[in-house]
Amino acid sequence: MSPDPKSSIVWFRRDLRVQDHAALYEALKRSDKVFCIFVFDTDILERLPSRADRRVDFIARSVTELRAALRAAGGDLWVLHGRPETVVPEAARKAGANRVWTNHDYEPAARKRDAAVEAALAKQGIAFETRKDQVVFEKDEVLTGQGTPFKVFTAYKNAWLDKLDAFYLRAYPTEKYFKHLASPAAYPERTREWTLKDIGFEPTDLDALGIRAGMSGAKERWMDFLKRIDRYKDTRDFPAVKGPSYLSVHLRFGTVSIRELARAAESRAGRSAGADCWLSELVWRDFYFMILWNFPEVERHAFLKKYDGIVFPGDAKKFNAWREGRTGYPIVDAAMRQLNRTGWMHNRLRMVAASFLVKDLHVDWRKGERYFAEKLLDYDLSANNGGWQWSASTGCDAQPYFRIFNPVSQSERFDAQGDFIRRYVPELAGFTGKRIHAPWTASADEQSVAGCVIGRDYPAPIVDHAQARKTALELFNVKS
């Protein structure tokens, strides 16, 4: 079919919603007929180690809901499976579209993919248009006075807040132009029903974990958090308390608009310490996207080049103990077991667990980052990489390398009653008071009463924190 100048395609990716969607809005506003597609990218899927991947399940459920929403609006969603540089141009050709719209993706692999898709489309005379959607500020929109990217968060945050106004938080009213959605009958081939099995995957335990995908799941989480947002600053660091927003996976896959969330937080600015604190977390998110875009080498290398050549002596035995939650440090083990069991980890504990792997076990931060990438339902390269490099002191952070979390004091401070530890390390449930944070300090009688003998029922610490700290300081004490 020859290209129709009034026909377009919108390629949904990590923006699985119909409301306040930049690319969809632009396509609907500028076209008479808009076809919608989603591609299960085989280049990504084939690299996943498990066929029961919670992220694929979450995406599949969200895509199903997206399709239903588009149908309710008079359109449809064409679900494809293959390599984007092949299936996207093919879909455009079949639909007779002269333009493909999508939203920006900032990861190095995604940038290469989009360049390949754009080149393939160009050979057919089809334009490729992208828009900003998953961040408030991107790329070079917030720069230093010298016109260079920021490398320290606080200065970036101040500039970010100074630039913020209603223009950058405006919604894209897609519903005004839903009449331009191509009807199901207009699609060049019937958009058939499909299942996870069709793409080689299996359903997972999202229901058992209480994780609801899609726009409806995002709305449910958001409405719940709005009731608690004013208390966020006081509750966010305590893993046994319902303090976080639990919106990270929805932000990752775009089932909620970042602009909607930022608007709500900004509207409380100066009146709610909780909302101010949460808005700061959204700024962190933009910051790490900006860093990844401007310094893509951080994907595999230390941001601070002087630390890139450190040879970490930690061995596979210690790394495996960390992964399996059997280091002998209860808060670290509880954090890792939460990750392994649920695909999520509390943010305070992400810092504690990461610091422990690098500064106590002396294992290369890249190994921990890859493990989180494999396990996290809300895995996002920019935030995961940024968080790990922050914890490892190799990233863009004003704090020096001698910031080393003490796992016992962190446990005593943020899980004082041991409720979180008891939830994920039940063998320690019998310990009372401070003993649960450092059970190896309990006497033989106390261990007997608790029903947990250290070294038998729960491991003794695999390293001495004080000594490990000294070794870490020596490792990082390198000259610029």
The CA distances from residue 213 to 43, 54, 60, 228, 344, in Å, are: 23, 11, 9, 21, 15
**What sections of 295-329 are H helices per DSSP?**
316-324
DSSP states of 220-233 as a string? HHHHHHHTTGGGHH
Cβ-contact 97, 4 below 8 angstroms? yes
Which among 42, 126, 41 has a CA at the least distance from the CA of 92? Answer: 126
Pairing, β 78-82 against β 127-131: unpaired
- In the chain, the domains with their CATH numbers are 1-133 (3.40.50.620), 134-171+215-294 (1.25.40.80), 305-475 (1.10.579.10)
Half-sphere exposure at residue 326, Cβ-oriented, CA atoms within 13 angstroms = 11
At residue 454, the 3 state secondary structure works out as strand
Half-sphere exposure at residue 233, Cβ-oriented, CA atoms within 13 angstroms = 11
Which among 33, 368, 22, 393 has a CA at the least distance from the CA of 173? Answer: 22
Segment (H or E) for 81: strand 78-82
Q: What six digits make up the tokens of 235? A: 């509750």
The CA distances from residue 151 to 107, 157, 265, 291, in Å, are: 18, 11, 25, 8
Residues pairing with 79 in the sheet: 38
> Average pLDDT for consecutive 10-residue bins of the chain (480 residues)?
78 98 98 97 95 97 97 97 97 97 97 98 97 98 97 96 96 98 93 86 97 98 98 97 97 98 94 96 98 97 93 96 98 98 97 98 98 97 97 83 91 98 98 96 97 98 97 82
Which among 66, 377, 430, 73 has a CA at the least distance from the CA of 252? Answer: 377
Integer Cα distance of 430 and 420 in angstroms: 14
* The predicted structure's pLDDT at residue 191: 74
Cβ-contact 349, 405 below 8 angstroms? no
- Helix axis angle, 108-122 relative to 84-95, nearest 10°? 40
Integer Cα distance of 465 and 213 in angstroms: 40
- Helix axis angle, 214-226 relative to 54-72, nearest 10°? 100
Instruction: Using alpha carbons only, give the angle 181, 137, 285 rounded to the nearest 5 degrees.
Output: 100
* The predicted structure's pLDDT at residue 480: 47
Integer Cα distance of 429 and 459 in angstroms: 15
* The predicted structure's pLDDT at residue 403: 84
Rounded to the nearest 5°, which phi and psi values hold at 39?
-115, 120
Which among 147, 375, 157, 151 has a CA at the least distance from the CA of 279? Answer: 157
Which among 288, 218, 230, 228 has a CA at the least distance from the CA of 260? Answer: 218
Instruction: Using alpha carbons only, give the angle 309, 310, 316 rounded to the nearest 5 degrees.
Output: 120
Q: What six digits make up the tokens of 379? A: 């895995």
Segment (H or E) for 193: none
DSSP 177: G
Cβ-contact 266, 169 below 8 angstroms? yes
Q: What six digits make up the tokens of 114? A: 């989009």
The CA distances from residue 336 to 55, 315, 320, 365, 465, in Å, are: 18, 18, 11, 15, 18
Cβ-contact 77, 187 below 8 angstroms? no
User: Residue 145: how many CB atoms within 10 A of its CB?
Assistant: 7
* The predicted structure's pLDDT at residue 87: 97
Q: What six digits make up the tokens of 242? A: 């319902």
Residues pairing with 99 in the sheet: 8, 127
Instruction: Using alpha carbons only, give the angle 196, 200, 203 rounded to the nearest 5 degrees.
Output: 40
Rounded to the nearest 5°, which phi and psi values hold at 250?
-75, -35
